[in-house]
């Protein structure tokens, strides 16, 4: 079991510490193998990490040309007439990664991969779901649902299963799996679009139907002009696949993350809090590191005895430079 929880003062220190962990892992593995496979998340939490990591690459401490990356998720249904326009939409996760990491690199990665949600035409998807109800099952106990396509499906649904979902997982496997995965945590404990209530088993790559609140909030937060412009679906790695990486580094900041972070460490293993999958991941020998700011770590610090009784290590770096 290897589960370390690092507590930092603020976002800036959290970002530096997390980037240092990623840099060290890349350096160690690049010394013994040709190519490093890096898993990446979007969202606010890893943005500072990415800027620090880009500096490490650009200063030559690690070799970007020997890194291949795989992102966690991408929308389906972004505005645009075709896949290229959807991928270049400013709210796409492809665009986000170019802004926050890929575009900052002097030497580019060997290859970057973002789940291929922009290849799917949302109108065609909705039509296929309405016409072929027997070719899929909706799974989940909460508002966000996994659309689980059956093995025998053909047409649009069969194409999505074979060429978007299964193909992404196969490509990760082809390159030996992910060495280290950077993840964040949603406000309800979800990882990527593996939303609360979606079962773990069998949902390694997900087609997710977003709940109405998610869509409405995206508009309210200014990401999309109207509900009609906001995506209704997404492609995502599921927790089962995310936690197959050799190492998972989770970054979280702010009081909105306090409860989900504590539940993931001290609560039961349940799809209601998908990042709690880190517990069985550690039990099976995985290496899990949380890098938290003071606010996100507040509940864990208050219950430190419980955390350490489980065999998890807390490292307090708030007084460090």
CATH number, domain at 87? 3.40.50.1360
Q: What percent of the chain has pLDDT over 70?
A: 100
The reported pLDDT for the residue numbered 253 is: 96
Residue 202 domain flag: yes
pLDDT for residue 213 is more than 80: no
Q: What percent of the chain has pLDDT over 90?
A: 90
Average pLDDT over residues 232-247: 97
Query: Other CB atoms closer than 10 Å to residue 276's CB: what's the count?
Result: 23
Query: Other CB atoms closer than 10 Å to residue 151's CB: what's the count?
Result: 9
The count of structural domains within the chain is 1
Structural domain containing residue 157: 2-316
pLDDT for residue 59 is more than 90: yes
CA–CA distance, 66 with 55 (Å, rounded to integer)? 16
Residue 306 domain flag: yes
Report the predicted TM-score, pTM, of the whole model to 2 decimal places. 0.96
Residue 321 domain flag: no
Average pLDDT over residues 136-160: 96
What is the secondary structure of 16-47 as a DSSP string? Answer: HHHHHHHHHHHHHHHTTSS-EEEEE--SSTTH
CB proximity list for 176: less than 8 A, separation 6 or greater: 37
Residue 52 domain flag: yes
The reported pLDDT for the residue numbered 1 is: 59
């Amino acid at each position: 079991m290897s589960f370390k929880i690092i507590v930092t003062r603020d976002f800036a220190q959290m970002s530096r510490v997390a980037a240092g962990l990623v840099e060290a892992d890349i350096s160690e593995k690049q010394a013994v193998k040709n190519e490093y496979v890096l898993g990446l998340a979007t969202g606010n939490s890893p943005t500072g990490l990415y800027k620090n990591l880009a500096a490490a690459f650009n200063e030559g401490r690690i070799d970007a040309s020997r890194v291949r990356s795989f992102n966690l998720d991408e929308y389906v249904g972004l505005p645009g007439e075709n896949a290229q326009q959807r991928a270049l939409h400013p709210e796409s996760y492809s665009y986000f990664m170019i802004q926050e990491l890929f575009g900052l690199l002097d030497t580019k990665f060997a290859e970057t991969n973002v789940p291929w949600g922009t290849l799917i035409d949302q109108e065609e998807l909705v039509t296929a779901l309405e016409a072929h109800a027997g070719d899929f099952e909706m799974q989940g106990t909460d508002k966000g649902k996994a659309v689980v396509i059956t093995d025998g499906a053909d047409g649009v649904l069969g194409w999505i299963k074979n060429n978007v979902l299964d193909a992404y997982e196969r490509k990760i496997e082809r390159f030996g799996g992910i060495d280290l995965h950077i993840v964040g945590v949603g406000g309800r404990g979800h990882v990527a679009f593996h939303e609360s209530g979606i079962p773990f088993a069998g949902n390694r790559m997900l087609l997710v139907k977003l709940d109405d609140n998610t869509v409405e909030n995206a508009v309210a937060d200014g990401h999309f002009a109207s509900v009609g412009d906001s995506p209704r679906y997404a492609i995502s790695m599921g927790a089962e696949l995310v936690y197959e990486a050799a190492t998972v580094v989770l970054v979280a900041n702010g009081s909105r993350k306090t409860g989900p972070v504590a539940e993931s460490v001290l609560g039961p293993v349940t799809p209601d809090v998908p990042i709690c999958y880190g517990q069985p991941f550690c039990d099976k020998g995985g290496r899990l590191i949380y890098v938290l700011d003071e606010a996100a770590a507040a509940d864990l610090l208050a219950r430190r005895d419980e955390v350490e009784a489980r065999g998890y290590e807390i490292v307090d770096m708030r007084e460090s430079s």
